[in-house]
A and B are shown apart, each in its own frame.
Chain A
Amino acid sequence: MKLPKLSAPTLLLLPAIIVLAAVIVLPLLFSLYSSFTPFRLTKPESIWVFIGFRNYVSVLTNYEFWTAFGRTVVLLTIALNAEMFLGLGLAMLVNKATRGQRILRTLMMFPMMFSPVLVGFQFKFLFNDNIGFVNNALQSLGVTTSAIPWLIDGNLALFSIIVAEVWSSTSVFAILILAGLLAMPQEPVEAARVDGCTPWQTFRYVTWPYLMPFAFIAMTIRSLDVARAYDIVKIMTDGGPAKRTELLWTLVGRTAYSDARMGLANAMAYIAILLSILFTVYFFRKLAAARQQIGAEW
């Protein structure tokens, strides 16, 4: 048999193309296909039944899915805003430090060095209603007399998860905003002071516009992160109590593996990805606008 002759570039790229196809393109196509089937892990033959958009219709009309979707957006909004404010504050404090700035910068990154699963366990322990540090501290200080059911009450549980998220990822904002502060020229700030600005006005009109692009970069990174939040929630509440902390990806995971309804789960996942893409596009637009505003040359 005579093989067709391939050009040298094609030949050299072939291994990479094969690997990429095997690990990315094929699974992607397969998952997309399976979202159009009633594929169940327990009934492998169901992969061959094509049901069109029925999975998508049932997901989009599913109350549980939309609750998880909405909750994810709420979590994203609260966590990102909290992280931005705290990160901004942290970055400005570290920027003011006259000595030990390197050490502080390193310390600031510690939470990022922990695996999210460990962060989940740590906060699960902290917020434990019986033996947890938080309740013990509150009771010892006399703030409250009874134990607060941190992870048992639906709203408190979501709050606890947000605290864990914020703790582990505020440093993403802090680091990026600090980078902005360090890169920022000092003269406009001085000009603003001479021009009659109070410290707050200086921040509002001069410093903040400079930092906005950096904040938006952090926002983009973190929105992708939070939109696929899974591990911390899985460990702390596993979507409970009574699905009150169910997020998009915990729902997807549960549908796929506990309920074994892989086809349905894949349909959910594709819709969920749309959310991430939406946020990314939104923040990138904001970023581009902010960059243009300050006439950035990067």
Chain B
Amino acid sequence: MAPVTLKKLVKSYGNVDVVHGIDLEVKDREFIALVGPSGCGKSTTLRMIAGLEDISGGVVEIGGRPVNDLPPRARNISMVFQSYALYPHMTVRENMGFSLKIGKVAQSEIDTRVNEAAAILDLDKYMDRRPSQLSGGQRQRVAMGRAIVRKPDVFLFDEPLSNLDAKLRTQVRTEIKRLHARVQATMIYVTHDQVEAMTLSDRIVIMRDGHIEQVGTPEEVFKRPATRFVAGFIGSPPMNLNEATIADGKLVFAGGQTLPLPIEFRSRVSAGDRVIFGLRPDDMYPTGHGLNSGEATDVHEMELPVSITEPLGNETLLFVTMAEREWVSRMLNPRPMDAGEVVRFSFDLSQAHLFSPETGKTLRS
């Protein structure tokens, strides 16, 4: 049983704080992803949990026990690094068994566990090779095998897929997910890739500038982003975010273009308020080519010229200029379309978001 708890965790280098007192509770056996742009403090946080980085303030608890003063080896954790960090002078077998050998586990037990991990990761054929004789994906699997054999309380992943090519990345991603289902340990996964975070984790922690912006399930952070930052960070292509002013039940954009105020927000804003209006590309689609066609309750239609199209096969991304800004629209079941063509768009305003321009927070309750 190893929940991980961060209490007012702070990291500073000299006078510069890079992690500003974050609180987080990771439940036992939970898969949690720390995600954010580079420099947001996610890796530093992970390294503080691992014990590779001194803690400047606050407490890290693993299994209910404060571990601030424990060296990494006493925390019963495993870590998978971005660069694999394999020991180049050891074979795959030695790499995987190294921590057990150091921990004075009996050789027979080491063999059993290493072979078991090798079987899980499909590494049997490579056990006597050295890391330099392996491909990137194989190295990554060895790094995971090395983590598994220890049977740790907590797995820590530091951007484990960033050095792999796109195809391999999806493949190893699935393997990690399978691994979690199989070993049933707490996993904390750092990534800058929101797709990885969404696909893998039970809950996502979105960080920015050393603060936590939002913690929630993938669905929560996607459907109900707490801040403008989360709204723009999660989802691909990103949400359309544009400034507007409230006037007379309408949203007035630059250049005088208007949209009706979404029903959900009518009681939350008053005339004259400035807001950030957010709408995902999925929720503004050429009429008849959207997800919610026919079911949506708060739809507004408008004709707009398409400036660029990006066909992806099963869908096409349309770039539309509205209110002096470029908006992205996702067209499902696409039909061929020329740049410059004027198309009727549906805006599903039941899926719209409003954020405060000052605090960046959502105006939803």
Contacts and interface: CB of A to CB of B under 8 A. Distances in A.
A192 B143 CA distance: 12
B71 A190 contact: no
A7 to B, nearest CB: 46
A156 B95 CA distance: 48
Interface stretch (A47-55, A69-77, A80-88, A196-204): A196-204
Interface string A191-213: 11111111001000110011000
Scoring A188, A193, A196 by chain B CB atoms within 10 A of each residue's CB, the highest score goes to A196
B73 A194 contact: yes
A197 B102 CA distance: 7
Nearest to B143: A191
B87 A192 contact: yes
Given A187-B83, A190-B52, A190-B81, A195 B98 contact: yes
Nearest to A195: B99
Interface string B33-68: 000000000000000001110000000000000000
Interface string B83-124: 111111100000000110011000000000000000000000
A151 to B, nearest CB: 45
A27 interface: no
A190 to B, nearest CB: 5
Scoring A185, A188, A194, A297 by chain B CB atoms within 10 A of each residue's CB, the highest score goes to A194
A239 to B, nearest CB: 44
A188 B131 CA distance: 12
Contact of A191 (B79, B89, B130, B132): B79
A287 B82 CA distance: 29
A295 interface: yes
12 contacts: A193-B52, A194-B78, A195-B150, A196-B102, A198-B73, A205-B87, A209-B87, A293-B89, A294-B89, A295-B88, A296-B88, A297-B132
Contact of B146 (A185, A195, A197): A195
Contact of B85 (A188, A205, A294): A188
A295 B130 contact: yes
The 4 A-B pairs at the shortest CB distance, nearest first, are namely A295-B132, A187-B85, A195-B99, A191-B85
A187 B79 CA distance: 11
Nearest to B80: A191
B328 interface: no
Contacts of A294: 88-89
Interface of B: 50-52, 71-73, 77-79, 81-89, 98-99, 102-103, 130-132, 146, 150, 156
A90 B89 CA distance: 25
A185 B78 contact: no
A178 to B, nearest CB: 20
B103 A196 contact: yes
A201 B72 CA distance: 14
Scoring A185, A198, A295, A297 by chain B CB atoms within 10 A of each residue's CB, the highest score goes to A295
Contacts of B73: 193-198
Contacts of B52: 190, 193-194
Contacts of A198: 73
B93 to A, nearest CB: 15
A297 B130 CA distance: 14
Contacts of B89: 209-210, 293-295
Nearest to B50: A194
A82 B8 CA distance: 50
A193 B99 contact: no
Contacts of A187: 81-85
Nearest to B82: A187
Contacts of A295: 88-89, 130-132
A294 B89 CA distance: 4
A188 B79 contact: no
Interface string A168-199: 00000000000000000101101111111110
A160 to B, nearest CB: 39
B363 to A, nearest CB: 44
A196 B72 CA distance: 7
Given A193-B51, A194-B73, 17 more contacts: A187-B83, A187-B85, A190-B50, A190-B85, A193-B52, A193-B71, A193-B72, A194-B78, A195-B73, A195-B78, A195-B99, A195-B102, A196-B73, A196-B102, A294-B88, A294-B89, A297-B132
Given A190-B52, A194-B78, A205 B98 contact: yes
A155 B73 CA distance: 48
Contacts of B79: 190-191, 194
Contacts of A201: 102
A84 B71 CA distance: 30
Contacts of A206: 87
B99 A196 contact: yes
Nearest to A185: B83
A192 B150 CA distance: 13
Nearest to A198: B73
A296 B130 CA distance: 12
A222 B332 CA distance: 72
Nearest to B84: A187
Nearest to A290: B89
A184 to B, nearest CB: 10
A128 B88 CA distance: 50
Contacts of A197: 73, 102
Contacts of B103: 196
B92 to A, nearest CB: 12
Contacts of B50: 190, 194
